[in-house]
Amino acid sequence: MGILLSAVAFGAAHSYQGLGGAVRIGLQGGLLGILANWRRSVRPGMIAHAWGDIFAGALARFMKVRVG
């Protein structure tokens, strides 16, 4: 229940990205919550989140797309 509630809160906090964006981010939050529960640490999720942001930024720069 805690993972579900935190995923909903995480998605709601990103509602400025629209309903579709909030739902996608909420699902990602749920997956990261499952990972944290499985590994008993938030560190793997933090690393995955950072790598995703780095990759998205590098890809956007390569494609010359404005992010954010």
Residue 57: per-residue pLDDT:
86
Two tokens at 44?
């793997």
Q: What angle do CA 27, 32, 33 make, to 5 degrees?
A: 95
Per residue in 33-59, pLDDT (tens digit) is 999 999 999 999 899 989 988 998 888
pLDDT greater than 70 at residue 22: yes
Residue 17: how many CA atoms within 13 Å on its side-chain side? 14
Cβ-based neighbour number of residue 61 at 10 Å: 11
pLDDT greater than 80 at residue 23: yes
pLDDT greater than 80 at residue 65: no
Residue 61: per-residue pLDDT:
84
Residue 68: per-residue pLDDT:
60
The backbone torsions φ and ψ at residue 66, rounded to the nearest 5 degrees and listed phi first, read: -80, 130
Query: Could you tell me the sign of the dihedral formed by the alpha carbons of 15, 18, 20, 25, in that order?
Result: negative
